[in-house]
Structure 1
């Protein structure tokens, strides 16, 4: 996909004799993956000859100019066939392909969670969002469904970029409102994969009583925190009365369609709605009150929610450790790099489920090194930079002197064979070229 459409885009700009190969694209993505755990302030510093920043693996795999060329022409769609209604048409084929693959290799688990994810972006775009309190407050909002079960918590199953009313969600789901429509659409995705008694967890942005009733009609369990004005006049204590009770007090009631609503007094009043879980049996949890540990009662549905809600949050956490640090100038480049990091995170989960023992950093490094070492692009070496050894070649001239080397190499000034080199700079030089090389122009 990337090779085909990047070459198509470059050809439309009349760039001749610059066809991108599959090996070059793999090496390009290998450099992006490596930048997640080897971060530099500027991406060109990977190719500098300075000893403090030069990266031999990157520079030997691909030249700097070739990397810049691929970055400027990176595409995953045909610009002549873009949908005017879809603001993410530039990356739509990539989202569709990645969703298919995530669902094809998805582990079979019943517990799932739905939440929003933020892709950091600080440029200009009509779909850029600001969400107060998020680690990444500015960027593109992505609806995401992920597994919440402990052994593979964080495996992303489905994702969809948010674009207002044009978000790619079925019209029938949108009748229930913005948040519930995302949960309903994710439930249909799960049912298309495999018919299981799924249990979906979500926060109060998504939870409504009609949503839980609709999920129950499709034999899907749902649990989520719920806002005070969405309880359908269920007969439970008001928030004001509950605050006057002791810590650990709870009350519950049900609607006409068997949706249970539980109100619990902890640090604050917690409201949970569920169409499957029960209040009993009661668990005991430890809390700190006036510098003393106390034990308070906790209903079963709230304990289950706390244990299985964090699937998407775990996915965010894994990505944030080694997020691709190289940035592009195109608005969609951050989405491409985000999907790259997300794919590695999912692959790492599958690796562990197959009995692998690598942590995420080792797994990421192995992918990067494999791509860079097996897809090296043959190229001619250019002239050495005039700034080579600039920090030391013009200072402490008494420490520079010529020594004999084992075999002749090219002089750095006149480019003729020579048997001697500068001891401090480790550069081949003739006697006559020694002074010009160590003198500023």
Structure 2
């Protein structure tokens, strides 16, 4: 309620499952006339019984891209099967009619595009969801944090990750003609940060140890060409250099 103090009436707000709950959505609609759409956790009170996993019957399980809904004015609950179940609550009945659907294109494993039916409420939430929802996938892709008993170090790692991600988003917005992937941006940033700041006065190079115990280096400009990637070989995963 405090975060929406500056929001004008007749506005639609999207937030994630940390906030979504029926009492809050009712208060925002009745007291402030603010319409809400958001993903919801299944342990929230007041959700339809048929949405809960423990009450699922065999004939009620959703197939791929199927959905079901239930309305208890002013809140509509929608459950859609994507790669996993997606649960949405919305109070914007006029814009998010639970019966209405949209079509989006999804990339298949073979690279082809396929038209997929999706409830309109979920499609709009995907477009309008805020920075927190987008931040998490970036952070989990290449986290710099490591386990530590020092709480301040974990906070430092989180803030460092946040600074890198914000810098990357700013970079791709300014330099749209030369967009780098998240991985490439982190590599370029890391190499810029350590360039010329090592304790030893020598060219930075990656050192590999061969079977005879000797070392051989890789030229600085070729370091990113020699990276270890996991190779799936059945039960075990091995790394190789290629």
- TM-score between the two structures when normalised by the length of structure 1: 0.32
Residue 101 of structure 2 is matched in structure 1 by: 282
Residue 253 of structure 1 is matched in structure 2 by: 71
1:192-247 Cα offsets, whole Å, 9 max, x none, are 6x8794622323x643211112333443533223548733789x999668945985
Instruction: Summarize the Cα distance change of 1:318–1:354 in structure 2 as closer, same or farther, 3 Å threshold.
Output: same
**1:340 correspondence with 2:160:** yes
Question: In structure 1, how many angstroms separate the alpha carbons of the residues matched to 2:192 and 2:84?
Answer: 51
Residue 25 of structure 2 is matched in structure 1 by: 212
- TM-score between the two structures when normalised by the length of structure 2: 0.52
**1:222 correspondence with 2:33:** no
1:360-388 Cα offsets, whole Å, 9 max, x none, are 344334444444457x59x899xxxxxxx
Structural RMSD (CA): 4.9
**How far is 1:311 from its partner?**
5.3
1:163-206 Cα offsets, whole Å, 9 max, x none, are xxxxxxxxxxxxxxxxxxxxx56x35xx66x8794622323x64
Question: In structure 1, how many angstroms separate the alpha carbons of the residues matched to 2:83 and 2:184?
Answer: 40
**1:231 correspondence with 2:49:** no
Larger relative contact order (C-alpha < 8 A, sep ≥ 6)? 1
- Structure 2 unaligned blocks of 5 or more: 106-114, 202-212, 215-242
Q: Which has the larger radius of gyration?
A: 1
Q: Which of 8, 11, 14 is matched with 1:200 structurally?
A: 14
Question: In structure 2, how many angstroms separate the alpha carbons of the residues matched to 1:373 and 1:296?
Answer: 47
Q: 1:250-329 residue pairs with structure 2 within 5 A?
A: 250-255=68-73, 258-262=74-78, 271-276=87-92, 277-283=96-102, 298-305=118-125, 312=132, 314-324=134-144
Q: 1:120-139 residue pairs with structure 2 within 5 A?
A: none
Question: In structure 1, how many angstroms separate the alpha carbons of the residues matched to 2:60 and 2:146?
Answer: 53
Is the CA contact (8 Å cut-off) linking 2:77 and 2:89 kept in structure 1?
Answer: yes
1:126-147 Cα offsets, whole Å, 9 max, x none, are xxxxxxxxxxxxxxxxxxxxxx
Question: In structure 2, how many angstroms separate the alpha carbons of the residues matched to 1:275 and 1:306?
Answer: 16
Residue 185 of structure 2 is matched in structure 1 by: 363
